[in-house]
Amino acid sequence: MPKPFKRVIEELSKLPGIGEKTASRLAFFILKSDLSYAKNLAHSIVFMRERLQLCSTCFNLSESPHCYICSNPQRDKSILCIVETPQDLAAIEKSRDFRGCYHILHGRLSPLEGITPKNLKIKELLERIGSENIQEVILAMNTNMEGETTALYLTKLIKPKGIKVTHLAQGIPMGADLEYIDEVTISKALKNRIEV
Amino acid sequence: MPKPFKRVIEELSKLPGIGEKTASRLAFFILKSDLSYAKNLAHSIVFMRERLQLCSTCFNLSESPHCYICSNPQRDKSILCIVETPQDLAAIEKSRDFRGCYHILHGRLSPLEGITPKNLKIKELLERIGSENIQEVILAMNTNMEGETTALYLTKLIKPKGIKVTHLAQGIPMGADLEYIDEVTISKALKNRIEV
């Protein structure tokens, strides 16, 4: 096997979930693609790594030490929305309905995968709650077992500090056909029904 | 989501078997790794793509238009060993027992995955057989269903041309414990037993 090929396999195999076999399939694909693809891929990787960092306050991806949300004086610093990933933050921002700030955990508790509180940005969240003037914490974890465990864990830590803790409403999503909605969602939607 | 991050996801998603979710997991990993890792990965990709090509004769990976095997005058050009991948070629070369040349198919027939004869270097193999003075073709496909289908397909194409077609012996591998060898291998080893 020529050395340049071996080296690509070696480097790709360091990525999570990429074994030697997958790495060699990817390397072949790159070999058969245009040179411009190899160059674009390589450039995008180095450019991202050099440009991006995590915001030192909320741990969002950022091109500067403070992300565009934390450094925006018009955002309400007293309401924190806690999300698992920067992708979740992006989804909430798209709604244009939240004017508070965020805190990104970078994952959710998952004992099976060995993800414990110290693997997440929970200590940093508690420090923020201790030092900033925070009135409300909105838990916006994903609505699966691990997300809900994480939310429960955070509630137990934050509520005793006398801070209002809320979570996103659970119910029927827009455009959904009731026929295809699972029973847990229906139960939640019934339980939390709203008077008109 | 910052643009540099989005761009990496876009480029990684073009790789086979890498969806947007996997791409974003990989991008995060790169973001959290040392800058040197991002640079090494990027450099290895471009270096490989610029340096390597497929040998125009046998389709092995090569740093020149003719690979080191095809351009070695000491290799026997009348015996061709047909393999699925350059990795298989490397495995055979390690034995140091084969002094002929190779032809790499770059895959095996797999109707389920949509891999038909025209996706493999079979036309090129037949052209070589037509133009070079080839006495023997050794089929060294992997010993699974798809490999054997490919071998059978090639046998039917090549044998009528009056060329000797052989395949690697199948039997008990070195260092194996008979207790753990599957029954098909035992059957083949019995059937092809050798008088001492």
Residue B37: list chain A partners with CB under 8 A: 11, 14
Picking from B10, B18, B52, the nearest residue to A4 by CB comes out as: B52
* Cβ within 8 Å, pair A4-B29: no
Residue A83 in contact with partner chain B when CB distance is under 8 A = no
Strand partners, B100: B76
Residues A80 and A38 in one domain: no
d(CA B18, CA A129): 38
Residues B114 and B38 in one domain: no
Reference A59, options A120, A8, A1, A148; nearest CA is A120
Residues A161 and A114 in one domain: yes
Residue B124 burial (10 A CB sphere; 0-12, 13-18, 19+): middle
Residues A120 and A79 in one domain: yes
Angle ∠(A56,A62,A67) on CA atoms, nearest 5? 60
Smallest CA–CA separation between A195 and chain B, in Å?
A: 37
The H-or-E segment that residue B86 falls in is: helix B86-94
**A68 within some domain:** no
Question: Among residues of chain B, what percentage have pLDDT more than 70?
Answer: 100
**B16 within some domain:** yes
d(CA A25, CA A30): 9
* Cβ within 8 Å, pair A61-B15: no
| Residue-level pLDDT at B32 | 85
* Cβ within 8 Å, pair B44-A87: no
* Cβ within 8 Å, pair A47-B4: yes
Whether B52 has a pLDDT exceeding 90, the answer reads yes
Residue A113 in contact with partner chain B when CB distance is under 8 A = no
Residues B104 and B143 in one domain: yes
**B52 within some domain:** no
* Cβ within 8 Å, pair A16-B29: yes
Work out whether the CA dihedral A109, A115, A118, A123 comes out positive or negative.
negative
* Cβ within 8 Å, pair B45-A16: no
How many domains is chain B partitioned into structurally?
2
**B134 within some domain:** yes
How many other β-carbons are positioned within 10 Å of the β-carbon of residue B121? 19
What does the H/E/C string look like for chain A?
CCHHHHHHHHHHCCCCCCCHHHHHHHHHHHHHCCHHHHHHHHHHHHHHHHHCEECCCCCCEECCCCCCCCCCCCCEEEEEEEECCHHHHHHHHHCCCCCEEEEECCCCCEHHHCECHHHCCHHHHHHHHHHCCCCEEEECCCCCHHHHHHHHHHHHHHHHHCCEEEECCCCCCCCCCHHHCCHHHHHHHHHCCCCC
Whether B90 has a pLDDT exceeding 90, the answer reads no
Residues A82 and A161 in one domain: yes
**B162 within some domain:** yes
> Identity (one letter) of the amino acid at A78?
S
- State whether residue B186 is helix, strand or coil: helix
d(CA A125, CA A107): 13
Asked whether A145 and A88 are in contact (CB, 8 A), the reply is no
Mutate to test the interface with B, among A34, A44, A105 (most CBs of B within 10 A): A44
What's the rounded mean pLDDT across residues B54-65? 93
At A15, which CATH number?
1.10.8.420
Whether B70 has a pLDDT exceeding 90, the answer reads yes
Residues A81 and A151 in one domain: yes
| Residue-level pLDDT at B170 | 86
Whether B137 has a pLDDT exceeding 90, the answer reads yes
| Residue-level pLDDT at A196 | 80
Residue B40: list chain A partners with CB under 8 A: 11
Interface of A with B in 21-50 (CB under 8 A): 22, 24-27, 29-31, 33, 35, 37-50
Residue B1 in contact with partner chain A when CB distance is under 8 A = yes
Smallest CA–CA separation between B4 and chain A, in Å?
A: 5
Whether B128 has a pLDDT exceeding 90, the answer reads yes
List of chain A residues with pLDDT < 50:
none
**B65 within some domain:** no
Residue A172 in contact with partner chain B when CB distance is under 8 A = no
- Non-local (6+) Cβ contacts of A88 within 8 A are A104, A140, A142
Residues A20 and A84 in one domain: no
| Residue-level pLDDT at B191 | 85
Residues A79 and A129 in one domain: yes
What does the H/E/C string look like for B24-63?
HHHHHHHHHCCHHHHHHHHHHHHHHHHHCEECCCCCCEEC
Residue B104: list chain A partners with CB under 8 A: none
Asked whether A141 and A170 are in contact (CB, 8 A), the reply is no
Q: Which residues of A21-37 are buried (b: 16+ CB within 10 A; e: fewer)?
A: ebbbbbbbebbeeeeeb
| Residue-level pLDDT at A89 | 92
Reference B92, options B155, B168, B174, B172; nearest CA is B168
Picking from B15, B46, B86, the nearest residue to A42 by CB comes out as: B46
| Residue-level pLDDT at B183 | 86
Whether B172 has a pLDDT exceeding 90, the answer reads no
Q: What is the DSSP letter of B159?
A: G
At B153, which CATH number?
3.40.1360.10
| Residue-level pLDDT at A189 | 85
**B63 within some domain:** no
Residues A13 and A94 in one domain: no
Q: Residue A27 sits in which domain range?
A: 3-45
Residues A15 and A88 in one domain: no
Among A176-185, B12-21, B112-121, name the one with the lowest average pLDDT. Answer: A176-185
pLDDT tens, position by position, A78-122:
999 999 998 889 889 888 889 999 999 999 999 888 899 999 999
Picking from B27, B62, B63, the nearest residue to A48 by CB comes out as: B27
Residue B68 in contact with partner chain A when CB distance is under 8 A = no
Residues B8 and B89 in one domain: no
d(CA B48, CA A42): 12
**A111 within some domain:** yes
| Residue-level pLDDT at B35 | 94
